[in-house]
Structure 1
Amino acid sequence: MAVELVLPFTGRWLTQNSPARRVPSHGTDLLGERYAIDFVAVDERGRTSGTHDWRTLLATEPPERFVGFGRPVLAPAGGTVVTVHDGEPDHEARRSQLALVPYALGQAGRLRSGVPAIAGNHVVIALPGGQGFVALVHLRRGSIGVATGDAVTTGQPIATCGNSGNSTEPHVHLQVMDSADLAVARGVPMVFRRYREELRGGEVRVRDQGLPAERAVVEPLPATA
């Protein structure tokens, strides 16, 4: 049975690596990622960054260029914080194929380095009733505002979006798992409630519950009375 969450942000975000497209969504079952989903903040024109220059084409770029960097990340459900990891750097972003190729070649080394090298700064929340654990990953260094043992409520700010760990540009990676330990966790299906979804072809729909489509731009909606 899928765990129901709310989207962990405000504003417009582009959906990537959605389990609505394929499972495993990220091409692997490692680290509890089977049903994981990514969200990249976009502006009113659907751009992840308003800057496009020679660095975009040939090199790396500072994460501050991107719409999502530093945007609030909210608790997608109430629960208890069981893991907080901070201190990983927010590294340069990569849209250039020239920069992406060597980065991809370093993937095996990051896996060998363990969870922090992949997840970066992250928070894990234990959901009530034994539903599992939700992880929010790639957070900005120094932005985490909760501690292990804290009770959090749905929609509570817990950190800001960063580019730490295995991330090519600032985004929020979210997953539900059967264990708080990402090294051994298995992924658990999830759905989101009350959001607006703009599909790639321009169709707009309001979902009371669902899983965002790949490359859809989503925006959370207030809960109904």
Structure 2
Amino acid sequence: MDDPFDLAYPFTGRWLVQNSPADRVPSHGTELFASAYAIDFVPVAANGRTAPVTRSALIGTEPPERFPGFGRDILAPVDGVVVVAYGSESDHAAYRGLWSLGYAATQGRRATAGWRALAGNQVLIESRGTFVALCHLQQNSVQVRAGQTMTVGDPIGRCGNSGNSTEPHVHIQAGDSADFDRAEAVPITFAGSLPANRQIVDL
């Protein structure tokens, strides 16, 4: 494995780590779309929950606005130049409980449609030949444009629920090309290490 590409955490506050490559590779069950080392961060409230416990969480879909992290600021995790800034896709309903299984069954259709259908609203930053993608951003929240120079901590958008996402979160991965339909995955770390699955990051 190549040396990991180190990033800053792209947020502040409390976030839950999911699908971490610290626990398995490929972290999302596939090496397609340069996702072998991808990681998800789910924003949580002070009590550690990603959303209030409600009856509708078990029997139906929920509006993304119900989740405490929907709309939280997402920050540049690396110095670099914006290659892609896409933010017009709608945020869809969130799925928990049994409904998430039904949503997962439709993932193949989105994968067939390619990277953009999976990533949803996204910002792609090139840094020293590595391309870092931040995905599932909130509709119309992207604050940057292609060609813009970024510094770690600059705001890029807000946490959303676009693309292949069951609840508001930010998905981060890196590749050796801006074309994630064909790129090879690049391993990543955050502040020098890789958080484990279910770990709480509190910044």
- Per the normalisation by structure 1, the TM-score is 0.87
- Which residue does the alignment assign to 1:14? 16
Partners in 2 of 1:79 and 1:219 — Cα distance? 25
Cα distance in 1, alignment partners of residues 135 and 150 from structure 2: 17
Structure 2 distance, partners of 1:21, 1:81, is 30
The CA distance in 2 between the partners of 1:150 and 1:53, in whole Å, is 42
Q: Spell out, residue by residue over 1:71-98, the C-alpha distance to the aligned partner (whole angstroms, 9 max, x if none).
A: 000000010000112211100001121x
Q: Note if 1:114 corresponds to 2:122.
A: no
- Structure 1 unmatched ranges of 5 or more: 194-208, 221-225
Q: Which residue of 2 aligns with 1:169?
A: 167
More relative contact order in 1 or in 2 (CA 8 Å, sep 6+)? 2
For residue 219 of structure 1, what is the aligned residue in structure 2?
A: 202
1:20-72 deviation digits (Å, cap 9, x = unpaired): 000001010111101000000111110111x2222111000000011110000
SS at match of 1:188: coil
For 1:46, the aligned partner's letter is G
- What is the number of residues matched between the two proteins? 201
Aligned residues of 1:60 and 1:96 also touching (Cα < 8 A): no
Aligned to 2:45: 43
Instruction: Provide the secondary structure at the position in 2 that maps to 1:101.
Output: helix
Contact persistence 1:88–1:116 (CA under 8 A): no
Equivalences for 1:1-225 in 2 at 5 Å? 1-49=3-51, 51-97=52-98, 99-127=99-127, 129-130=128-129, 132-193=130-191, 209-220=192-203
Measured in 1, the distance between the counterparts of 2:165 and 2:142 equals: 18
- How far is the alpha carbon of 1:218 from its aligned partner? 0.7
Find runs of 4+ consecutive structure 1 residues off by over 3 angstroms. Answer: none
The structure that is strand-richer by fraction is 1
Say if 1:136 and 1:174, in contact at 8 Å, map to a contact too.
Answer: yes
Q: Identity over aligned residues, as a percent?
A: 53
Amino acid of the structure 1 residue aligned with 2:95:
R
Name stretches of at least 5 consecutive residues in structure 2 with no aligned partner: none
Contact 1:11 1:219 in 2 (8 A): yes
TM-score after normalising by structure 2: 0.96
CA distance in 1, matches of 2:113, 2:36: 20
Deviation at 1:192, TM superposition (A): 1.1
Q: What is the Cα-based RMSD across aligned positions, in Å?
A: 0.9
In 1, Cα distance between the equivalents of 2:62 and 2:20?
25
Q: Is the 8 A contact 1:40 1:170 kept in 2?
A: yes
Report how far residue 115 of structure 1 moved: 1.9
Q: Letter of the aligned partner of 1:56 in structure 2? A: A
